[in-house]
C-alpha cells in the first residue's frame, strides 16, 4: 500500500525495522529539547504529514522500550490518525516515572501502525443474543 507523505523534518521517513515489524518508529522533530517532569505531558511534533486512503487509519502507539525503561508512554494510546486529517502528526507523551525525562531532536518517541478499519451501521434491537459469558464484565473470563 502506498501512502502519500510530506516530511518537513530533518530525519528519514519512518520505516519498518524488520520484515515482521507491525510498526514504524516516529521521531521527535524539535528545535530544542523538551524535558518532561513526572506526570507532565506534551505534544511532540514529528514534521510528518500523511494522506491516508479511506478505510485506513494510522495508530500512534507507545514504544515498549521507552515505557519499560523510562516510564514514557503515549497518553491516548493508541492515538488515531483519520484518513481526512492533513495536519502534522503529533505524539502525546506522558512521563509516568518519578524522574525528569528529556526528549531530544530525532529521538524515537512512538510507533506508527497502519491498519484497515470497518465502518459500522447500528441495528437497534430490543434483545441481544445470549452467550455463555452473558453480562460478565471486567475480569469475568479470568481464572476463578
Domains and CATH numbers, the chain: 4-116 (2.70.40.10)
Which of the four pLDDT bands, split at 50, 70 and 90, describes residue 132?
confident
Instruction: Give the pLDDT of residue 65.
Output: 95
The SS3 call for residue 27 is strand
124, three cell numbers: 437497534
Whole-prediction pTM: 0.88
Where does the pLDDT of residue 44 fall: very low under 50, low under 70, confident under 90, or very high at 90 and above? very high
Q: How many CA atoms lie within 13 A of 28 on its CB side?
A: 20
**When comparing pLDDT for 9 and 135, which is higher?**
9
In the prediction, which pLDDT does 84 show? 98
Average of pLDDT values for 17-32? 97
In this predicted structure, the answer to whether residue 144 has a pLDDT above a threshold of 70 is no
Amino acid at each position: 500500500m502506498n501512502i502519500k507523505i510530506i516530511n518537513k523534518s530533518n530525519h528519514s521517513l519512518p520505516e519498518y525495522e524488520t520484515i515482521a515489524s507491525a510498526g514504524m518508529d516516529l521521531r521527535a522533530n524539535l528545535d530544542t529539547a523538551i524535558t518532561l517532569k513526572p506526570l507532565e505531558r506534551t505534544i511532540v511534533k514529528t514534521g510528518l504529514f500523511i494522506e491516508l486512503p479511506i478505510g485506513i487509519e494510522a495508530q500512534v502507539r507507545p514504544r515498549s522500550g521507552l515505557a519499560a525503561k523510562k516510564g514514557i508512554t503515549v497518553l491516548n494510546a493508541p492515538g488515531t490518525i483519520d484518513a481526512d486529517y492533513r495536519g502534522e502528526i503529533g505524539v502525546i507523551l506522558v512521563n509516568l516515572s518519578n524522574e525528569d525525562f528529556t526528549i531530544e531532536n530525532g529521538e524515537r518517541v512512538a510507533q506508527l501502525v497502519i491498519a484497515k478499519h470497518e465502518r459500522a451501521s447500528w441495528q437497534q434491537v430490543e434483545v441481544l443474543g445470549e452467550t455463555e459469558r452473558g453480562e460478565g464484565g471486567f475480569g469475568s473470563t479470568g481464572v476463578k
